[in-house]
């Protein structure tokens, strides 16, 4: 049974919920991965999904996006149902997705990757590309280079920038710091702080607790496919027993 997490403060209670998952069950190759999870993502905030490897964090994002089918439950964006719809439907409704393995087009240049991601009336156009270059100076310098010639950290920046090319209601970001050098992780933390301060709505999967604590407003902890705890990020960092039990810190 999924644990329902109450919102912790009055300010959050009165804020608008953009993305809502209710009683979501997902199976992969017959294995029951998500076992009735429920969570809310609040407008203008970064909500962090934490938990050990295999807890179901990436599956939650892939199910939300429509890359995996939810066998049961409801996924709503601004009150509109996403469950049962393909990934392109979620994208058209304003869900941006940064997958764990980045999936940039390695044979295309940085700028070609960004332009290819732009989608009709939702596109931010040239202003969106300029914003990406301002936020990620490395991409401006490498705008004419092929994405395949870039470092892992630069490819991660490109994957995030690509998801920002359209006007999103929420961005799903899967482990942006995975496998990156500490200096690049610090760069990304600064970037996510900027996104947070600009009011972007983000659902972030992250293993790096220091990074998560720096950029996140609220958190949920997943354990064996269930939500077991949630609240304000500052509450988590003050609870060593919770960290030890569910995150292994």
Domain ranges of the chain: 16-94+168-247, 104-167
Q: 16-94+168-247 belongs to which homologous superfamily?
A: P-loop containing nucleotide triphosphate hydrolases (3.40.50.300)
Q: What is the tens place of the pLDDT at every residue in 80-96?
A: 999 999 999 999 999 99
Q: What is the mean pLDDT of the chain?
A: 88
The mean pLDDT value for 177-181 works out to 88
- Measured CA to CA, the distance from residue 217 to residue 232 in angstroms comes to 6
Cβ atoms of 45 and 218 closer than 8 Å: yes
Helix (H) or strand (E) holding 110, with range, is: helix 110-117
Entry pTM:
0.88
> Closest by alpha carbon to 234, among 1, 72, 83, 9?
9
């Amino acid at each position: 049974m999924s644990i329902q997490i109450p919102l912790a403060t009055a300010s959050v209670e009165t804020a608008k919920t953009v993305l809502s998952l209710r009683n979501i069950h997902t199976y992969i190759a017959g294995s029951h991965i998500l076992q009735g999870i429920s969570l809310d993502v609040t407008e203008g905030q970064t909500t962090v999904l934490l938990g050990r490897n295999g807890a179901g964090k990436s599956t939650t994002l892939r199910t939300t996006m429509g890359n995996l089918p939810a066998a049961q439950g409801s996924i709503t964006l601004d009150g509109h149902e996403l469950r049962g719809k393909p990934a392109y439907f979620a994208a058209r409704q304003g869900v941006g997705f940064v997958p764990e393995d980045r999936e940039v087009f390695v044979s295309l240049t940085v700028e070609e990757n960004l332009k290819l991601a732009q989608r009709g009336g939702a596109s931010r156009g040239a202003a969106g590309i300029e914003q990406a270059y301002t936020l990620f100076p490395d991409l401006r310098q490498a705008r004419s280079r092929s994405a395949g010639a870039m470092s892992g950290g630069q490819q991660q920046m490109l994957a995030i920038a690509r998801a920002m090319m359209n006007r999103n209601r929420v961005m799903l970001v899967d482990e942006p710091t995975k496998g990156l050098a500490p200096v690049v992780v610090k760069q990304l933390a600064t970037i996510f702080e900027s996104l947070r301060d600009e009011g972007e709505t983000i659902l972030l999967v992250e293993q790096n607790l220091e990074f998560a604590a720096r950029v996140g407003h609220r958190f949920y902890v997943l354990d064996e496919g269930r939500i077991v705890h949630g609240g304000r990020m500052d509450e988590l960092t003050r609870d060593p027993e919770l960290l030890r039990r569910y995150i292994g810190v």
